[in-house]
Amino acid sequence: MKISSCKHLGVMFVIGLTLHVDCGYVKRKFYAACNAVLADSKYADEFVKLHLVESYCVPLLTYLR
């Protein structure tokens, strides 16, 4: 079994001869969270949607998990 990436302290490292950090992992988590919040709040007011995205999605970009 060949491993192509490794997660250490919330940061995804791509295995190779040089050090690479996978930023796509964090972006995928952010987009998945935004899609989930916006799909569940389809009929809510736009300010409510904005508050939900700021509360649940933006911390995924600012803090590593």
In a domain? residue 31: yes
50 located within any domain: yes
Crossing angle of helices 24-40 and 46-56, in 10° steps, is: 150
Residue 15 forms part of a structural domain: no
Q: Does residue 14 belong to any structural domain of this protein?
A: no
Contacts (Cβ under 8 Å, ≥6 apart) of 57: 30, 33, 34, 37
Question: pLDDT at residue 39 above 80?
Answer: yes
- Name the nearest CA neighbour of 40 among 24, 25, 57: 57
Total domains in the fold of the chain: 1
CA distance 31 to 11: 17
For 35, residues 6+ apart whose C-beta sits below 8 A from its C-beta are none
How confident is the model at residue 51, as a pLDDT? 95
Q: Does 10 fall in a domain?
A: no
**Could you list the residue range(s) of the whole structural domain that residue 58 is in?**
23-65
Q: Is residue 52 part of a domain?
A: yes
- pLDDT grade for 35, boundaries at 50, 70 and 90: very high
Whether the per-residue pLDDT at 41 is higher than 80: the answer is yes
- At 5-33, the pLDDT tens digits run 887 777 788 888 888 887 788 888 899 99
At 64, the pLDDT band (50, 70, 90 cuts) reads low
